């Protein structure tokens, strides 16, 4: 293909025609890419760059999961302590109402009417509550403890 094959000369040839004419002059360089001004060649990421990106994403995910686990554990502990405080308050109310001494232990059925129609609290960490005697604080099998325990009748 030569420049005379472009047809009329009153308008400039398009890029495709120019590329074709330039590669036709150099048959041994047919596979060579000739970039015109303003034409961009797409570039791909190297394997090294992709590995670094995957490693950074993995590091960020591990930090996020660790933070999520700590927040979840702290929330479960707080809810469990609140439940223990409710159980303690209901034990004191039961003891006052039934004129029970320090050594008596209410059962679950004894405390249920004091929860106002709600069901007995459940530990969010999967533990079970031990009601215990009136003078002792309630406990949880998951290891949560009632920090500020006050007993008053």
Task: Please report the pLDDT score of residue 7 as a whole number.
Answer: 55
Contact 95, 80 (CB under 8 A): no
Please, which residues bridge with residue 140 across strands?
129
pLDDT tens-digit readout, 76-108: 999 999 999 999 888 888 998 888 777 888 988
**pLDDT for res 72:** 94
pTM of the model: 0.60
Q: What is the sign of the dihedral through the CA atoms of 14, 15, 16 and 17? A: positive
pLDDT of residue 110: 86
Indicate the burial class of 91 (C-beta count within 10 angstroms; 0-12, 13-18, 19 or more): buried
Give the Cα separation of 7 and 21 in Å (integer): 13
Per run of 10 residues, the mean pLDDT along the chain (length 153 residues) is: 54 66 56 58 82 96 94 94 90 88 84 82 90 88 80 60
């Amino acid at each position: 293909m030569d420049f005379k094959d472009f047809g009329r000369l009153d308008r400039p040839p398009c890029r495709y025609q120019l590329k074709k004419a330039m590669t036709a002059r150099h048959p041994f360089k047919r596979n060579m890419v000739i970039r015109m001004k303003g034409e961009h060649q797409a570039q791909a990421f190297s394997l090294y760059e992709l590995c670094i990106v995957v490693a950074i994403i993995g590091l960020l995910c591990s930090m996020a999961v660790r933070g999520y686990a700590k927040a979840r554990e702290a929330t479960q502990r707080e809810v469990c302590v609140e439940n223990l405080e409710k159980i303690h308050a209901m034990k004191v109310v039961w003891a006052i109402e039934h004129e029970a001494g320090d050594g008596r232990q209410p059962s679950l059925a004894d405390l249920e009417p004091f929860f106002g129609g709600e069901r007995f609290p459940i530990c969010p960490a999967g533990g079970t509550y031990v009601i215990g005697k009136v003078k002792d604080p309630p406990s949880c099998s998951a290891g949560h403890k009632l920090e500020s325990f006050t007993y008053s009748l």
